[in-house]
Amino acid sequence: MNQSKGEQTRQHLIEVGAHLFHLQGYSSTGLQQILKEAGVAKGSFYFHFNDKEAFALAIIDYFAGVFKQRVAQHLLNPELSAEQKLDAFNHYTVTAFTEMNFKAGCPIGNFCQELADSSESVAIKVGASLNGMARCFAGVIEQGKQENVFSNDLDAEDCANFIVDSWEGAVLRMKAQRSAEPLHNWLSFIKRLLKPS
């Protein structure tokens, strides 16, 4: 389905803003830089977004979509075992972070750190995105239980929430250390945690 010119402009603004916010952060990225990079007039920006916060909310939706298209496919791949799905997820994310020299981190986590305290709308949107990520992991855990490689005593939802929370922490440490080691350590520990005792 073809997009109208206005829809194309809106999408272009979101993609440019997503790139800049991810690399520089929300607070460090000004509207003028976004407009210059996008080649869009200020009036056009305000036609699509009431303010910078509304723009941020649209970008969170964009990143949630990117997760579904590029990352979740590894966790939802029906051809992979549960353990293979965890390996594939870690391999994909480590490769992506390595290409960015470990500097940008998780865009959803970044929004949470910068804006969740000051914006209820952002907090709700970020929470929904993290919940969606957790649901993907919960499915992997249930699969692993059926395959008898993960403990049957595990509550899939609680465990998936811990996996997401601990992964976000590992990403923060990755940024501090400029190294993939925290992510590899995360995967190793999660696998041990999931194994039957």
The full set of domains in the chain, from first to last, is 1-49 (1.10.10.60), 57-194 (1.10.357.10)
- 82 backbone dihedrals φ, ψ, rounded to 5°: -60, -45
Q: Degrees (nearest 5) of the Cα angle 106, 12, 62? A: 35
CA 113, CA 55: separation in Å to the nearest integer?
17
CA 52, CA 33: separation in Å to the nearest integer?
12
Share of the chain above pLDDT 90, in %: 92
Instruction: Provide mean pLDDT across the span 71-81.
Output: 93
pLDDT for 169-191, tens place per residue?
Answer: 999 999 999 999 999 999 999 99
pTM for this model (two decimals): 0.91
